[in-house]
Chain A
Amino acid sequence: MNYSEHLRKVSVLGAAGKMGSGITLLTAMEMADQLLRDPEQVMELWAIDLSPRGLHGLMEYLKPQVLKAAEKKTVWLRQMYTGRPDLVENGEIIAAYVAFVLSLVNTSAHLSDAAGSTLVFEAIKEDPEVKIPVLREILRNGDGNTWFFTNTSSIPIIRLDEEAGLGGAIIGFHFYNPPAVQKLVELIPSGNTRPELVEFARQYARNLRKVVVESNDFAGFIGNGHFMRDALWAIETAGQMAKTMPIEHAIWIVNRISQEFLLRPMGIFQLIDYVGIDVAVYIMKVMNPYLPDEELVSPFFVNLVEKGIRGGQFSDGSQKEGFFRYEKGRPVAIINLQTLTYDPLDTVHAATHDLVGELPAPLSWKEVNFAPDKAEKLANFFAALSHMKTYGAGMAISYGRNSMRIAKLLVASGVARCEADVNKVMETGFYHAYGPVNEYFK
């Protein structure tokens, strides 16, 4: 089978979820583009989810997204539609393309509709006990020729392969959230994955214009391998600091250091809120059994989740309360762990500002990340930081060094193939302005 024959019938499982809807979008457009080039091909896409209401929401989501994508590739679309004299203006061509893409998407609430798929893209709950029986059932209903992509961010691929009996027909294809926007895909072949499936996955990712980093098959892979350890270090550090100050102050300081002093797009606790504290706890739980030399558990996070403080996002994309309360996407209040209410950040900020001290220069992630002279700006900023004697500067250096330690650990333990791959994941998947392996925190 050639590339497009593997797209003859694609099923996305968990299609109404945040990841699934993005995967459905990208796959539908990839199919449409293949069909525009060669209309003789046969392709169908099944968006499968247990929630009919979610599937309705999926279609609502797809339309404006396809429209936005079509508006960006109208130059190409005009070439594809030269044989349609009835479509003259950009507006007509774009509308025709949107209708075409949407017409390829069949929605279903029944797993049985995935039978006979050439490719199944699995984006259901991050739980092996849920994933494995589903994969097994599809295999049983099919002709044995189904290939599987799994969007897991933490479960070893070999475990899914062996326990579902897939015989190497599965590869980790880990999008970052949201798939339509994030450039990075972590591709995770297990030792057992068939070479032709790896080749197909690479081609598919290239066609989606994604940046691919291949990771080895260790729980958490590169992205969560760094993020979870980074998060754990941050909360443990805050815990230490809390011996001499209120824990809320410590949390705010660590959050500020990780954002403002390290020039990251978000502070670490804001990022955990964004992902979901419950999701972080869950990923750690999945990863921990595979890490005999480490204890990847945060009782602090577990405790928060038990108290109902979970973070994550509402379906409209707005941020739920976690470590912080948000207004227009910005943290405005911080959780008070005694009362579980939120105290204004202004007060906490004022109380901790003098201790932390000033930044080496008035520079932000936004100002540096898109600057043409980014390397120079970063070098100057961190050179100045290294000469400062403040509490904030000292902590930033420890933070940066720990991040580098994690990156080196990922390479040493065989998760990442090289330091450059870790840097690429952090820069493209997490939007860091620079990778964790650098010269800034000597």
Chain B
Amino acid sequence: MANLRPVPMLREFDLARDTLRDLNSFLHKRAAAEGISQVQVKNPDGAHSIACGLDSDLDVQIHGHVGYYVAGMNKHASVTVHGNAGPGAAENMMSGRVHIRGFASTAAGASAHGGLLVIDGDASLRCGISLKGADIVVGGSVGSFSAFMAQAGRIVICGDAEDALGDSLYEAVIYVRGKVRSLGADARFEPMTDADRAALKGLLAQSGQTYDPAEFKRVASAKSLYHWHADADQEY
């Protein structure tokens, strides 16, 4: 019997040479079957839809900046971007973990149902828009209209928030440490409870942030827009 060479558990793709289709097709259809658990991606150079639609326990490391929809609709996988992300990072994620080491453009985590999105830098406008149960932790600040119509889940903002934070919020909860330029319709500050502090502690630990939960404020829905009401001053 010849020397048994260990089957590599790692694959590398170079998007300067390989196509996006090669990469995504491998991730969807062959990685699990070939026993690959980690995939490295070089030279993303702003390409869109890298590692989208994953549905297995892969670890994808992307070295550089990505375009729109990195890890879009992610399930189970862990995707790390060693750089910045374009619009819609981890949009509609169902589970797993996406980590953007740089900044994220607009609509980060849009409509995500589960899993954890970590952004070390800033997130642009509409971070967590339409959130449906996932957790988002932003090390920096977020742009206007963040958590717009966020239905469920938690958004942690270690920096500041610009305008209309949590406009038309449903049941999602926001923990914000810095200044909030303005709150959105039906959003209000509420006192932090022990449960909030415990949840926040866990989220911060999971994202490698060392801030003290006591520095954060809670923003939640006043729930006055839940029902059409003639006498309420609703913009509907």
State yes or no: do A and B come from one complex. Answer: no
Task: Write the residues of chain A forming the contact surface with B, with a CB cutoff of 8 angstroms.
Answer: none
